[in-house]
């Protein structure tokens, strides 16, 4: 075979197999909303096996630069997200906010149960384990200037992409949805096809359930605008 022809055939096979892989990669609707039992691995965290392999490779590289990446949040179930939601709802309500104001406040940083990228086993929140932990660790200012995680952020901004990890909630002020989260990374080769499947779901049926605090305010209209602004409001490299 002519060399060029050989290369083209090779590329065609690669392209085809990738297409088939992503087409065949069907995650059930239940798993996409954090219900059911996904296959997860990790000692002090839980990620899909493929995500964990890439994460460990990245951690090893970071370690050579003196960084000790610690996962503070990885897979999170629907029930866990529901308890976070309900707790925050009561907290903001106790400050005198209306139901609508409360929901608006919660979704600055937290998701409606069933809509978290943490449900997929592809996303994780990280810090550097070396500096002593004081109070809340996931605060943007701790990742900048003289903050304890500034070096980690800088290293990740340069190298994370080489391992497939991207920041969904980047610093772009024109981005809609959740606020800037310098600690939250997503493994693109897995999370992109999952997001595509996620967008095809019957969201109202899966997400608008009566046992959520504030459920009366969570109608189809809210859901449509939330999906547009919050689920789609991620770094373009993850769409
Ligand atoms: Zn996160």
* Count of the separate structural domains present in the chain: 1
Assigned domain for 6 exists: no
Assigned domain for 209 exists: yes
Question: pLDDT digits over 115-151, tens only?
Answer: 999 999 999 999 999 999 999 999 999 999 999 999 9
Question: What CATH number is given to the structural domain containing 133?
Answer: 3.30.1380.10
Assigned domain for 22 exists: no
Please give the distance, rounded to the nearest whole angstrom, from the Cα atom of residue 11 to the centre of ligand 1: 36
> Pairing relation of β-strands 165-166 and 184-187?
antiparallel
Please give the distance, rounded to the nearest whole angstrom, from the Cα atom of residue 20 to the centre of ligand 1: 30
Taking a 5 Å cut-off on Cβ, the residues next to ion ligand 1 are 125, 184
Q: Output the CA angle 22-28-34, nearest 5 degrees.
A: 115
Assigned domain for 230 exists: yes
Residue of 108, 85, 94, 99 lying closest to 209 (CA atoms): 85
Please give the distance, rounded to the nearest whole angstrom, from the Cα atom of residue 211 to the centre of ligand 1: 24
Assigned domain for 23 exists: no
Residue of 185, 137, 152, 176 lying closest to 67 (CA atoms): 152
Confidence of residue 18 (pLDDT cuts 50, 70, 90): very low
Assigned domain for 8 exists: no
108 Cβ contact list (under 8 Å, min separation 6): 178, 179
pLDDT at position 11 is 47
Please give the distance, rounded to the nearest whole angstrom, from the Cα atom of residue 210 to the centre of ligand 1: 25
Question: pLDDT digits over 61-99, tens only?
Answer: 999 999 999 999 999 999 999 999 999 999 999 999 999
Please give the distance, rounded to the nearest whole angstrom, from the Cα atom of residue 74 to the centre of ligand 1: 7
Please give the distance, rounded to the nearest whole angstrom, from the Cα atom of residue 147 to the centre of ligand 1: 19
Please give the distance, rounded to the nearest whole angstrom, from the Cα atom of residue 140 to the centre of ligand 1: 12
Residue 232 domain boundaries? 28-238
Assigned domain for 179 exists: yes
What average pLDDT does range 167-192 have in this prediction? 97
Please give the distance, rounded to the nearest whole angstrom, from the Cα atom of residue 119 to the centre of ligand 1: 10
Assigned domain for 146 exists: yes
Please give the distance, rounded to the nearest whole angstrom, from the Cα atom of residue 13 to the centre of ligand 1: 36
Please give the distance, rounded to the nearest whole angstrom, from the Cα atom of residue 92 to the centre of ligand 1: 21
Residue of 86, 44, 92, 90 lying closest to 69 (CA atoms): 44
Confidence of residue 19 (pLDDT cuts 50, 70, 90): very low
């Amino acid at each position: 075979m002519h060399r060029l022809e050989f290369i083209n055939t090779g590329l065609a096979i690669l392209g085809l197999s990738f297409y088939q892989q992503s087409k065949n990669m069907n995650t059930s609707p239940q798993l996409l909303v954090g219900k059911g039992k996904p296959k997860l691995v990790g000692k002090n965290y839980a990620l899909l096996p493929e995500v964990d392999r890439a994460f460990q490779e990245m951690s090893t590289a970071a370690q050579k630069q003196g960084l000790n990446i610690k996962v503070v949040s990885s897979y999170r179930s629907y029930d866990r997200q529901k308890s976070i939601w309900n707790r925050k709802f009561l907290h903001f309500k106790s400050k005198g906010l209306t139901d609508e104001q409360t929901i608006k406040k919660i979704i600055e940083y937290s998701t409606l149960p069933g809509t978290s990228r943490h449900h997929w086993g592809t996303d994780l929140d990280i810090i550097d384990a070396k500096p002593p932990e004081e109070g809340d660790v996931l605060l943007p200012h701790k990742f900048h200037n003289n903050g304890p995680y500034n070096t980690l952020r800088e290293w990740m901004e340069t190298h994370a992409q080489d391992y497939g990890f991207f920041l969904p909630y980047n610093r772009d002020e024109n981005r809609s949805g959740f606020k800037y989260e310098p600690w939250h990374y997503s493994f693109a080769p897995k999370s992109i096809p999952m997001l595509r499947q996620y967008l095809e779901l019957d969201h109202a049926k899966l997400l608008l359930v009566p046992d959520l605090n504030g459920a009366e305010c969570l109608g189809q209209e809210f859901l449509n605008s939330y999906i547009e602004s919050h689920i789609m409001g991620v770094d373009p490299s993850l769409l």
